[in-house]
A and B are shown apart, each in its own frame.
Chain A
Amino acid sequence: MTIAGGYELDHLTALEAESIHIIREVAAEFENPVLLFSGGKDSLLMLHLAQKAFRPAKLPFPVMHVDTGHNFPEVIGFRDRIVAEYGCRLVVASVQESIDNGRVTEVGGPKAPRNLLQTTTLLDAIEDNGFDAIFGGGRRDEEKARAKERVYSFRDDFGQWDPKNQRPELWNLYNGRIRKGEQIRVFPISNWTELDVWQYIAAEQVELPPIYFAHKRPVIRRDNMLYAVSELIEPGEGEEVFESTVRFRTLGDANSTGCVESAADNLEKIVAEIAATRMTERGATRGDDRVSEAAMEDRKKEGYF
């Protein structure tokens, strides 16, 4: 990143500095932090920033993937390679295992969305590993309940968020004091927008899974969104499979994350596309947020990110 001259910081440098400050603060004050890592762009950005925060030392904490088992196949291989390249320790928390162990019940069969199930897997993994601070790549521009959340989001021993009773958060003084069993979810990129993320990724040449870039694949149209046809998404009655040039704006579960028609096959084109877009990434591609107006707020209260 560059400095604008005259002791001014360009907005991406200012955001980068703020994020690094938060990441270092957590490393200094908590015993056992972990960084959530899905292989999606926000978590890759997080890993990139975290690595900058401690250079030339290695990351002083592991990364964790909450694996719903409903991944895009390209993403898992990518995840493993990146984690190896950064030389960090990977913890995998598996939703399938939670199902097999009877911790959660699958409603609607193995192909139904597992977004709600992953909260239990996440909370179990946090407890089993004794994590006290959990970095997430959530941003306040993503969703209106997130817009209200602190950078240090206190969660009680059930992992629950209480939106009406959040700790005041002033200046860059973060309160990381917790009792045993409680946790802080930390959102270092709270103040980034989707466009900031893409501008930064383009400027820093952060490597992303290929499905973020425009490519041809068979899709169906469902609820006004395009879904990639796969083992998890098969055409229903009256749904027609057609080939389209698409890319993914977010990476969630393969069966609840839609793609968008796009010709953007490199980072510069994606930045231009995002700058001109009139739909938010969640509105455009996330079936899971469409359940109700307070869907995200309700999931967060239960312990979701």
Chain B
Amino acid sequence: MELLRFATAGSVDDGKSTLIGRLLYDSKSIFEDQLEAVESTSEKMGTEYTNLALLTDGLRAEREQGITIDVAYRYFATPKRKFIIADTPGHIQYTRNMVTGASTANVALILLDARKGIVEQSRRHAFLSTLLGIPHLIVCVNKMDLVDWDAEVFEQIKSEFRDFAMKLDAIDIAFIPVSALHGDNVVERSSNMDWYRGSTLLHMLEEVHIASDRNLRDARFPVQYVIRPQSDEFHDYRGYAGTVAGGVMRVGDSVLLLPSGFETTITHIDGADGPISEAFAPMSVTVRLADDLDLSRGDMICRTNNQPAVGQDIDAMVCWMTEQSALQPRRKLAIKHTTRAARAMVSDVKYRLDINSLSRDEDATQLGLNEIGRVSLRTTQPLFYDEYRQNRSTGSFILIDEDSNNTVGAGIILGPSA
């Protein structure tokens, strides 16, 4: 059974939590004791119907205020797939939480209110989803019951959204008219919208093809941990453990080590259950090499004829995630990229992006909380990276404040600084 991760974003009243609640409820993934708890809370709060949103709002403050503040992860499975939902808040003040949830998603679910059509928030969600490299967007036009199940309304929104999506690196977009409250086209087909011939949401989630979204071309293996048993039985064992970040690695491959530049051959790949002949992303394996060479955590194994970029001056889109301080030129931060830890200095803020209009403010000199912009960084050590569009693992990094130790920035690598 394949694992699919999808991210949803939404804010107060657009029905996102209700939609997830519906998906879980109709796919029989909600347990009786959970439902009882929700029913009794709904009653206490005096709502008319069972508020399925309460299933996902896990913190006291969220239930009290009726909003989603932080990412919540939900799980359900059908006979076809296992799903992990990153349920994120949609309001602009929680952009960082949305970016967090979207970072690992295969699919983004974007929710629109049929009465309101495309609003600023929908544009922002679509943009952030594509910025974070999510290859598939599913746009659910919700609350169709409140527009008399009108096909015209749906078609109008669809065509407007397509026009807007031209500006994005959008890849694969699908549209579904739904009513989360009543369940139409979520798990069960709607009898109110005969004019819609497409899939239900659940069916689409089960069928969307994600296997080829991974990079299986460019072999990348950041060394995470060196295994040296130092026992009599395994006296000479020296294995490089890590998670394959791209491509396929095979026993017998001639490989190049970075930063040393030495070339050698893969003699063994040890998987979780013993020796295997090949490994691909995102498997966790241990690689053994023909020669004893200098290779440790933060270094990379790649193919001789297919190497990542190596450099210390890098341009990236950065989402700034703290209100404590701003990202400004000359600021120094800790950077974590694959398994490599280094320091980075901001050499330039090139522009700040208005994430609603997508216009660039080239006069901007800094990024504040939840702002996204193009930034040039200089790192203390070379990074072995790919463009984020080519590889989400070797193309991403986080920035850490060296005083507070908080994660303050998320970076998407564009390429070497010009």
Which A residues are closer than 8 A to B by beta carbons? 1, 4, 6-11, 13-18, 20-21, 24-25, 27-28, 52-58, 140-141, 144-148, 163-164, 166-173, 175, 177-179, 190-191, 193, 195-196, 277-280, 283-284, 293-294, 297
Contacts and interface: CB of A to CB of B under 8 A. Distances in A.
Interface centre among A53, A56, A170, A175 (most CB of B within 10 A): A170
B241 A6 contact: no
A148 B59 contact: yes
B106 to A, nearest CB: 12
Contacts of B273: 1, 52
B3 A283 contact: no
A51 to B, nearest CB: 10
A258 B59 CA distance: 26
Nearest to A14: B3
A173 B297 CA distance: 14
Nearest to B392: A171
B8 interface: no
A17 B272 contact: yes
In this complex, the interface size class of chain B, counting residues with CB under 8 Å from chain A, is: 35 or more
Interface in B344-372: none
Given A4-B2, A28-B339, A191-B84, A280 B33 contact: yes
Contacts of B73: 140, 147, 190-191
A119 B113 CA distance: 46
A145 B31 contact: no
B75 A16 contact: no
Given A9-B282, A195-B77, A283-B31, A58 B224 contact: no
A278 B72 contact: no
Contacts of A196: 82
Contacts of A195: 77
B280 interface: yes
Given A147-B72, A168-B398, A293-B60, 16 more contacts: A6-B211, A7-B248, A9-B282, A11-B82, A18-B282, A56-B237, A144-B72, A147-B73, A163-B70, A164-B59, A169-B100, A170-B407, A172-B282, A277-B31, A278-B32, A284-B33
Given A10-B1, A57-B227, A175 B392 contact: no
Nearest to B81: A11
B398 A170 contact: yes
Contacts of B227: 54-57
A167 B284 contact: no
Nearest to A284: B33
Contacts of A11: 1-3, 81-82
A170 B337 CA distance: 11
A176 to B, nearest CB: 9
A17 B243 contact: yes
Given A170-B398, A193-B75, A283-B31, A57 B228 contact: yes
